[in-house]
Structure 1
Amino acid sequence: MKRLPTLASLLLCTALPLLAHAETAAKGCTEVTVDGYKSPDYGCLGQQMGNNADAAKAAQKNREAQNVPVQKRPPNQVGLSTPAATSIRMGNTFGTSVKPQRP
């Protein structure tokens, strides 16, 4: 007779954390602490970050910013030599000789 209430309390004690977990999962992401280390639910956080309506607009602006026309790019990105690069290559012969100091 004493086992029946103990069994019922054991089942109740194991069912309460599951119900509590279900409630917190519906509201937001849960963090689990094991031996003092917190571990967030990365799947839930990823879903929350993926449902942002402004993220598509931001990604489009990033793609547009990376597609700079050739005439607006810096010369070293296009393959042209800059005056600073030429002066480093020519060294002390810059403006006085056609042979560079450095090859």
Structure 2
Amino acid sequence: MKSLWKFALGGLLLSAFASAHAEQPLGCVEVTVGGYKAPNYDCLSQQMGNNPEGAAAAQKNQEALNVPVNKRPPNQVGLATPAATSTRMGNTFGTSVKPQRPPANNGTSPLTNK
């Protein structure tokens, strides 16, 4: 009885390995050099490109990238935003037209011996 189970289990494992081996397209080779695996990127690209819905997804991506200028956020068009202006002006935002600057350093240089 145990030998029958071992035989059945062995046949099941063999068929699982055979089906997993048959799914890989021909020409895909992984090379191991010095313990590092170097996959075949051409083969991986072909495997990733076999998606029938890939063309529709690429079209949607192109449409998302081609947003009209009047629909883009101001920071993508180059316009000033309140957050950017507040950062540039510092604590004088809304109170002065001159941006906040650190005090001028009137100290002497350590490189001069005068």
Q: What TM-score bracket applies, with the shorter chain setting the length?
A: 0.5 to 0.7
Measured against aligned partners, the alpha-carbon deviations of 1:44-100 in whole angstroms (never above 9, x if no partner) come to 443332232211111111111111111121111111111111111111211111111
* 1:62 is aligned to 2:80: no
Q: Residues 54 and 99 of structure 1: is their aligned pair in 2 closer, same or farther, counting only changes over 3 Å?
A: same
The structure richer in helix per residue is 1
Q: Verify the 8 A CA contact 1:31 1:38 in the aligned structure 2.
A: no
Q: Residues 85 and 40 of structure 1: is their aligned pair in 2 closer, same or farther, counting only changes over 3 Å?
A: closer
Q: Residues 43 and 93 of structure 1: is their aligned pair in 2 closer, same or farther, counting only changes over 3 Å?
A: closer
Q: Residues 49 and 100 of structure 1: is their aligned pair in 2 closer, same or farther, counting only changes over 3 Å?
A: same
TM-score between both structures, scaled by the size of structure 1 = 0.56
Task: Name the residue aligned to 2:70.
Answer: 71
Which stretch shifts more, 26-35 or 42-51? 26-35
Mapped to 2, the partners of 1:83 and 1:58 lie a distance apart of 36
Letter in 2 for 1:89: R
Deviation at 1:40, TM superposition (A): 5.5
Structure 2 unaligned residues grouped into runs of 5+: 1-20, 102-114
Q: Residues 101 and 53 of structure 1: is their aligned pair in 2 closer, same or farther, counting only changes over 3 Å?
A: same
Letter in 1 for 2:24: G
Q: Which has the higher contact order (CA 8 A, sep 6+)?
A: 1
Number of residues paired by the alignment?
Answer: 78
